Structure 1
Amino acid sequence: MIKQLHPSIARVLFFLVVILSMSISAQNEPFNCDYNAYLFQRNDIYALDLASGSSYLVREDITEGSVNAVGYNPADGYIWGSLSSPAKTIVRIGKNFNVETFYIDELPSSNRYVGDVSSEGIYYLKGGGTSFFKIDLNPESATYTKYVSTNTLSKNISVHDWAFNAVDGFLYTVEKNTNILYRVNAVTGEVIDLGEVPILAGLSYTYGAVYFDASGRFYVSANQTGTVYVIQSVQTLQPGSTLDSNLFAYGPSSSSNDGARCPTAPVPQEDCANGVDDDGDGLVDCDDPACSGVAACPILAPQVSSGNDGGLESNDRLSQQINQRNYLRKKGNYKFDKSKAKRVIKTKSYKKSASKSTNFELKDLIPLDVIPGTTTVESSPSDLIAITNATELYSVDYVKDGETVAVVLATKTENGVYEHTKFICDRLLGAELLSVSTIELFQEEIEEGEEGEEKEGVHFIKSIIKNSNGSKEFVLSFSGRLINDDVNFEIDSHWNIDKYEADATYYNFQIWTNSVDDLLTLGEEALALFEIQKPISDYVTSTPPPVFVKKGEYVNGTLELELINIRRSKSVVIDAGFKRTETSTTEYFNNTIDLTGNYIETLVIETGNIFDIGFRIENEYNLTPDDLFMSDGVWGKDDSPAGTTVNEFVITQNDNIYAGSGYRVERNISLKATTNSYVSAFRSFTPRSTAVDLSEFDTFELDASGTGDLEITILKEGIDAWENQFRTTIKLNETETHYAIPLAHFVSAAGGNINLTDAINITFTMSSDGTTVLEKEMNLKDIQFTQKSLGVNTDVIAENEAILMPNPMSYNAELSFYSETNATSKIEVYNVTGALVRKMEENTTIGNNSISMLREGLKSGIYFVQIRNDFRKYKTIKLVVN
């Protein structure tokens, strides 16, 4: 019997159907060739920018089972994949990341992890072995979402993803271990060997996510490191062809991943020689991994900094101690020579646990003989023990062909984690943070599971730092903490120091290398060595910050920052503490700052004159914040002689924001001391005593007062011997005076002209005779290097020198000399018996001065001319009168 619905009920049902239909339509909106690549990790989805390698989580837990074998379907604009659960199920994913599932009875229950969709809408799906499956995903087809056939590859290949090239319609894939590029005819199953990919030679990674762009470039991502490689124009290759391959970007690692991307969407490319960020990833020319090894950027693996120079803490407590350490190193002519350093050799006890009655040492945790072709030498900076919270310290350099290619710096701390991390300090000291992503470490070799996927390792944050000298370092840090009554290790790794447990004992590891592959090797070996001593029972790690400072600079009262805004945040909160001088109290500010939402952001924060600042950048997603610390170069005092006592050492801030065009040495000092030897005040140009280029300047200026002679020494990095540094001397008195000293007046015992391309420090010294105790005082203000017009002549007259021309004199002559101050100068003429025969006073000004001398009654003969003022006595000139 047919029952007719009431008209009102029918209308309600009609509208429900319409609303439901509209809802499903909205939920299942297609991607329609989104330019992003999408990285699937189990049931989470990340948006991946191939140009930069940066990624961010766009949706978590989209399904109950893991999604794999994903591919973009050009026929309907959706992403399709295979589900581990429910069995025999595939899934369609829309732009809003909502899913629909389809049961395909002909599929195997498991072992489906390779997949992509052709331009005709056919889904090609496989796992291990030679069999692969075809499913019709063309919405215009009568067999839409239905199984088509099972086919067989002509060759059994061990691959983990493949992708269609829209240029030629073939599938491409790279095999694990052999690193061979294969072309697969999806219709016939023919597999063609195109040869080993050169950039992958020697690697043994799993390539679980591969992508194409519209030009036929094939992008291959390594699971363990996240490195993205590119193979150019694969459609033109034939067996035996030369493969053009290179690095492309450093992305996130993943042990269970797969990739999907519209193959007809372009990927921006970097021009490596035009000085422009062409692909918008914040990296210009040779900083971009895609430019590695090309003609304009030939060096793939430059030297990294030695462990002997590392390990400086990231806080405001130790700036002066570190400055003192670097000053004393330079003064003592210390230089680490890795060619003469002690070699570290693997012994029979390597990778063997210590006896129960013996505690292990830091050196038991140091990887050895794991980077081919390297020699391991000890590079421990033992002078850090006295000034950091490390109670033990051990570091090694891995040296290849005379250059350091990797470093492991290990410390033991008993009152919390070791507080220095390269990525916190270095960005505001001239370095740049080029990339932040993850690397996946395993304790030991993991066998492949049923579906050919490696078991999950542990994700650590890896960063890539470009140092101020242009070298690049891949950086990893983690710390081991004994737990369970010292039976086990817990391994912690965080971006923020406050995530570590306070007051705990940690074994801290910092690793930096010139290649991501060596970073992985050293990290895994270090974990294996921890495991040997005490089983690792737990890992506690953090994710990378989604907004971080790429680089920053403090310039005349402002902090200028360049941010990488991966998640396109619209605002950040900056929480900062800063000090005006080395000895002043800490001030604070907390501000919310709006952003544009662009990938690259520029911020200018008005701070006024400051000495240091530590700040945190909180993002609107409440994810890992970014922490930074900046210190200016530091004022210090050298009162090391036994007969020296410093009674006052005061540092004050400059009265004004510098508006000049020179280089100002910020902050002023006053020092009072008694000494029978010497006392010095010194100022590093940077907090690490790294070199700055001051070669464009020709004058050193300051306002000063004090007692007697002040020796000024400019330390150059390229001069090893302290006694060969360039020096000059000025005379101080109780009246504050402005001095402008030509850099040409600085002389070295070794001779030569000063060239300040590598200035690291300036030192001010007052001395006694080694016996007499004298009171010494120096007050130094507004110190700067400038370009200055120095007087009537272009050439600066040498220090203490005077020139008289013509000489012999008939009627008149010009007397020229340089004055570093404005002064009243006395000019006196003596005859050969020493009698004063003429006396003049002239107001001389800073620079070359020229004074006319008339004969005016001087008889023919020989005379001596002396010039002096309160600040300088010049060399006596012999004058001949015709």
Structure 2
Amino acid sequence: MKHFYTLTTFLSLFFLTFLQIGLVKLYAQSEPFNCSYNAYLFQYNDIYAIDLASGSSYLVKENIIENSINGAAYNSADGFIWGYVSGNPKTIVRIGENFETDLYTIPEIPVTNNNYVGDIDLFGQYYFRAGGSTYHHVDLNPDSPNYLQYVGSSSLSQSINIHDWAFNAADNMLYSVEKKTNNLYRIDVETGNVENLGVVPILAGNNYTYGAVYFDVDGNFYVSANQTGTVYIIRQVQNIVSGIMDSNVFAFGPASASNDGARCPSAPVPQEDCLNGLDDDGDGLTDCDDPSCSGVAACPVIQLASSGNDGGLESNDRLANLISKRNYQRAKTNYRFDALAAKKVKKNKNYLRKGMFAPNAIELNALVPLGIIGESSTIESAPEDLLDLTNASDIYAVDYLNGSETMSALMVIKTEEQVYEHSKFICDRFLGAQLLSVSTLQLREHNFIKSIIKQADGATEFALSFSARLNEQNQFVVESHWNIDAYAPNTAFYNFQIWSNSVDDLLKLADEILNLLESNAPIVDYTTSAPPPVFVKSARYERGAVHMNVVNNNRTEYIRLEGGIKRSETSQAEMVGLQSPLDGYIDTVAVETGNIFDFGFRISNDNGDTPDDLFVADAPWGLDDSQAGTQVNGYEIIASEEAYFGQGYPVERNVNLVATTDTYVGVYRALSPRFAPVDLSTYDNLVFSAAGTGTLEIQLIKGNGETYSHEVALSATKEAFYLESSLFTNISGNSTDFANLKVIQFNMKSTSGDMEEKQLQLSAVEFTNEDKPAAFIDEDLTRSIVSPNPVTTETTLYFYDEVAGEYTLELFDISGRVIGSHTNHGVVKQGQNTIKISRKGLDSGLYFYRLESSSKRIWSGRILVK
């Protein structure tokens, strides 16, 4: 079975295709792909474009023909993609760049089962097969006299269990990876010889179907696992000898079934340099964040740090204050989950035992997989402070440990009337995490949504959420959706949230949960939906704007934001609708919202795909009225109306509080939404304005739980306080700085021990390096003062403004001409302001100044220069 083409012939044809691409129209109007960088994934009769560097995919053609396509391959001889038409055993299809198709019937092709494995060599020769050892050959070189003719069949030297193969442009040999054994094979189609190159190290122990494989110009072999969507790389397979190979995870893409891959083998795939601090491959991930850097250079293999005890908060505005109280109590007591003291979970004789429970009354610990992922131990880690906060009626959580390190975590939550309202991928982003990837993994031939989350502490987690409900026949229906409102309403659910340092362990745990459910009642249906192709990687609120990094997998041109904004913790939500354009795969979007507390919104894209949901918020104010005998008569958080123009660190929003207490009552403010410590050591002073009754204690709660405090006396007239960090001391009398701050607390105490009424008006809180200004030199606050005047070398202009903003100062000579060198712009703060005016070259004489602030106030006067 010889075909008479040399490598020189191939190169001539290859470059001729590139030089004459505008002239090539072979038997149809469709154009060739011209060796596109994309890989193409065929799933049934749909085609997805795959970016191997990021694993991202988007649908490029739906229902391209009536039947499914398999054995898909790029033809270097004509630039088209070809494939075998399932259900029509003698027909192949040619696909152009515009996804127009031409069908060709070749009567000599033997009638076999579906030929699901196929690729085309560098000379346009198509080799395809079904199971067994027989493979077939069709000539697809348009310059060959045998074009579109069946050449014959041959046999492999051994039967191998493979689901796709691909030609390597470096040696024109076929390569494939076998299911279960994970052996890499090199196949010579001229002789049928199959060479076993050994087990691929990164795949060892897997039991996946590798239904789509691809090459790049350097001979790097990319292997995609159907069940998880993980893309693995085996580098320069043409150079492998003695079973020594370089393999790693490369990207995390979508799971797929009945699939096949096609890609030009002479196109490069961008590679990430793991040390240079740049996003070299354009996937939005830099250095160690890129999966291809796992275990490379200084990048660790993915590790997991978070416990089930840290999870479970609901991600909706309704519970913001309750969540704040929970986090405040943990911060105040410096709560830490003690894994060493936690109860260990052991498998018993009732594990997977059928009929142990009624389907609607399963004990949650009976739905916990054990002994599935090679864990050294499993411990209980249920966050007991969630039941009073959420719509859960019961919660059970475990951590799976490898030694003392958490490798996976699981929360099982029962709800009575609707699905659990917490979405890990919403809540974790709210708490500062990044959503690196959203795709699918496959369970029981159904796609479930998986996400990859990088926590604020650097831990990377693979996460999966799904829920199970009972139908009228007491049988389970399993649902997996991105949006909470896509789940069935008005029904009880068993809810599962899994996160792991391994996508393989994630799949194993999820599959075992399904087994555990089935031991109590059959699963009769799966209801799933697609993940959002356009999603927010990370978001934060800062100084009047929501800043988002948006991943745009389907190349949408704009996004719509619809949701509710709350200006403060105690105000009502106002509904808003906004729109923003998108540019490229990764785009940074800033949405001007003005000063807010939180914004819960849905992000829709112009293609109508699954939307993303997000909740962003500033760090919260909260009320500490926990003491018996304390009664709150009035509590209001007031939105900051003006933009902050200072050089410090603003603590937005103001507080009014009226209460009676015989101990204390207070308000607190976290420094970050997740109550994580913030380093403010570069600032010297804590500044605020306050009025009220009695003594106000200001506490600083540090990240290690230590508390430092200072007291000031309040009066009925609002006063500005400037407190240096050294004024704050702990119980031992030691002072501190503003490093590692979690919470600021403002307490009003009963000095008599009897019921006392307390009032507090607190505003303009900030950390700053500015010192307290001297008293204003004139009682008339509408005037501006220049002193000294006359001026020798320098003078100071004093003015008072009730509104923060900006100013413009102009200087004129006696003829009214503006002296441009003395025009000055700067920041106005609320209260007294000063501007230094230097003589710098002014001749002796009389000058005039005009000062205007952004509040539209104007001051003017004379300056005499000696």
Band of TM-score, shorter chain: 0.7 to 0.9
Offset at residue 170 of structure 1 (A):
1.4
Question: Is it true that 1:734 corresponds to 2:722 in the alignment?
Answer: no
Offset at residue 308 of structure 1 (A):
1.1
Question: Is it true that 1:564 corresponds to 2:567 in the alignment?
Answer: no
Flag the 1:767–1:524 CA change in 2: closer, same or farther, 3 A: same
Question: Is it true that 1:610 corresponds to 2:596 in the alignment?
Answer: yes
**CA deviation profile, 1:511-542 (whole Å, cap 9, x unmatched):** 11111111111111111111221211111111
**CA deviation profile, 1:679-733 (whole Å, cap 9, x unmatched):** 12111223332333323333211111222322222222223xxxx3222222222
Cα-Cα RMSD? 2.2
**CA deviation profile, 1:121-175 (whole Å, cap 9, x unmatched):** 1111122222222211101111111111222222322211111111121111112
Flag the 1:374–1:756 CA change in 2: closer, same or farther, 3 A: farther
3-state DSSP class of the match of 2:603?
strand
Q: Write the distance in 1 (CA, Å) between the matches of 2:753 and 2:733.
A: 30
585-594 or 651-660: which moved more?
585-594
Q: Write the distance in 1 (CA, Å) between the matches of 2:640 and 2:608.
A: 38
Question: Is it true that 1:281 corresponds to 2:283 in the alignment?
Answer: yes
Q: Write the distance in 1 (CA, Å) between the matches of 2:28 and 2:425.
A: 43
Do the aligned residues in 1 keep the contact of 2:36 with 2:264 (CA within 8 Å)? yes
- 1:177 corresponds to: 180
Flag the 1:305–1:22 CA change in 2: closer, same or farther, 3 A: closer
Question: Is it true that 1:766 corresponds to 2:766 in the alignment?
Answer: no
Match of 1:502 among 489, 509, 519: 489
Offset at residue 39 of structure 1 (A):
0.4
Offset at residue 195 of structure 1 (A):
2.0
Match of 1:580 among 567, 580, 588: 567
Do the aligned residues in 1 keep the contact of 2:394 with 2:413 (CA within 8 Å)? yes
Question: Is it true that 1:530 corresponds to 2:517 in the alignment?
Answer: yes
Offset at residue 27 of structure 1 (A):
4.2
- 2:116 corresponds to: 113
- 1:464 corresponds to: 452
Do the aligned residues in 2 keep the contact of 1:43 with 1:63 (CA within 8 Å)? yes
Question: Is it true that 1:256 corresponds to 2:258 in the alignment?
Answer: yes
Flag the 1:223–1:234 CA change in 2: closer, same or farther, 3 A: same
**CA deviation profile, 1:273-311 (whole Å, cap 9, x unmatched):** 2221111111111111111111121x2132231111211
Match of 1:76 among 75, 78, 97: 78
- 1:347 corresponds to: 348
Q: Write the distance in 1 (CA, Å) between the matches of 2:433 and 2:78.
A: 46
TM-score (normalizing by structure 1): 0.82
**CA deviation profile, 1:520-570 (whole Å, cap 9, x unmatched):** 111111111112212111111110112111111211101111111111111
Offset at residue 757 of structure 1 (A):
4.8
Flag the 1:531–1:751 CA change in 2: closer, same or farther, 3 A: farther
3-state DSSP class of the match of 2:339?
coil
Q: Write the distance in 2 (CA, Å) between the matches of 1:177 and 1:254.
A: 18
Offset at residue 63 of structure 1 (A):
2.5
- 2:146 corresponds to: 143
Q: Write the distance in 1 (CA, Å) between the matches of 2:569 and 2:190.
A: 73
Q: What letter matches 1:33 in structure 2?
A: C
Q: How many residues align?
A: 752
Q: What letter matches 1:266 in structure 2?
A: P
Flag the 1:66–1:768 CA change in 2: closer, same or farther, 3 A: same
Offset at residue 238 of structure 1 (A):
1.3
Question: Is it true that 1:718 corresponds to 2:704 in the alignment?
Answer: yes
**CA deviation profile, 1:761-817 (whole Å, cap 9, x unmatched):** 21111223573332222221111122346899xxxxxxxxxxxxxxxxxxxxxxxxx
Q: Write the distance in 1 (CA, Å) between the matches of 2:471 and 2:134.
A: 49
Do the aligned residues in 2 keep the contact of 1:429 with 1:553 (CA within 8 Å)? no
Structure 1 segment 189-338 matched on structure 2, within 5 A: 189-240=192-243, 242-297=244-299, 299-338=300-339
Q: Write the distance in 1 (CA, Å) between the matches of 2:273 and 2:559.
A: 32
Q: What letter matches 1:460 in structure 2?
A: F
Q: Write the distance in 2 (CA, Å) between the matches of 1:769 and 1:263.
A: 81
Q: What letter matches 1:512 in structure 2?
A: W
Do the aligned residues in 2 keep the contact of 1:389 with 1:418 (CA within 8 Å)? yes
686-695 or 318-327: which moved more?
686-695
Offset at residue 247 of structure 1 (A):
1.1
Do the aligned residues in 2 keep the contact of 1:652 with 1:669 (CA within 8 Å)? yes
Offset at residue 386 of structure 1 (A):
0.9
Q: Write the distance in 2 (CA, Å) between the matches of 1:670 and 1:729.
A: 19
Offset at residue 750 of structure 1 (A):
5.8
Match of 1:778 among 760, 769, 772: 760
Which blocks of at least 5 consecutive residues in structure 1 are unaligned?
1-20, 443-456, 793-844, 847-882
Q: Work out the percentage of aligned pairs sharing the same amino acid.
A: 52
Match of 2:621 among 635, 654, 668: 635
Do the aligned residues in 1 keep the contact of 2:639 with 2:654 (CA within 8 Å)? yes
**CA deviation profile, 1:462-488 (whole Å, cap 9, x unmatched):** 111111111111111111111024x21
Q: What letter matches 1:576 in structure 2?
A: G
- 2:533 corresponds to: 546
752-761 or 598-607: which moved more?
752-761
Match of 1:666 among 642, 652, 659: 652
- 1:515 corresponds to: 502
Q: Write the distance in 1 (CA, Å) between the matches of 2:250 and 2:331.
A: 41
Flag the 1:695–1:172 CA change in 2: closer, same or farther, 3 A: farther
- 1:419 corresponds to: 421
Flag the 1:208–1:590 CA change in 2: closer, same or farther, 3 A: same
3-state DSSP class of the match of 1:28?
coil
Q: What letter matches 1:718 in structure 2?
A: N
- 2:860 corresponds to: none
3-state DSSP class of the match of 1:383?
helix
780-789 or 663-672: which moved more?
780-789
Q: Write the distance in 1 (CA, Å) between the matches of 2:752 and 2:355.
A: 54
Q: Write the distance in 2 (CA, Å) between the matches of 1:175 and 1:22.
A: 38
21-30 or 300-309: which moved more?
21-30
**CA deviation profile, 1:89-122 (whole Å, cap 9, x unmatched):** 2222221222222333233421422111011111
Flag the 1:118–1:357 CA change in 2: closer, same or farther, 3 A: closer
686-695 or 261-270: which moved more?
686-695
Offset at residue 356 of structure 1 (A):
6.5
Question: Is it true that 1:623 corresponds to 2:609 in the alignment?
Answer: yes
Q: Write the distance in 1 (CA, Å) between the matches of 2:123 and 2:335.
A: 70
Flag the 1:621–1:751 CA change in 2: closer, same or farther, 3 A: same
Question: Is it true that 1:600 corresponds to 2:594 in the alignment?
Answer: no
**CA deviation profile, 1:339-376 (whole Å, cap 9, x unmatched):** 11111111111112344668312222121221103311
Flag the 1:745–1:365 CA change in 2: closer, same or farther, 3 A: same
549-558 or 774-783: which moved more?
774-783
- 2:863 corresponds to: none
Q: Write the distance in 2 (CA, Å) between the matches of 1:272 and 1:355.
A: 51
Match of 2:461 among 442, 453, 473: 473
TM-score (normalizing by structure 2): 0.84
Offset at residue 22 of structure 1 (A):
12
Q: What letter matches 1:567 in structure 2?
A: N
Q: Write the distance in 1 (CA, Å) between the matches of 2:578 and 2:753.
A: 57
Flag the 1:193–1:633 CA change in 2: closer, same or farther, 3 A: same
Which structure has the greater CA radius of gyration?
1
- 2:385 corresponds to: 383
Q: Write the distance in 1 (CA, Å) between the matches of 2:615 and 2:636.
A: 24
754-763 or 206-215: which moved more?
754-763
Q: What letter matches 1:170 in structure 2?
A: M
Q: What letter matches 1:395 in structure 2?
A: A
- 2:477 corresponds to: 490
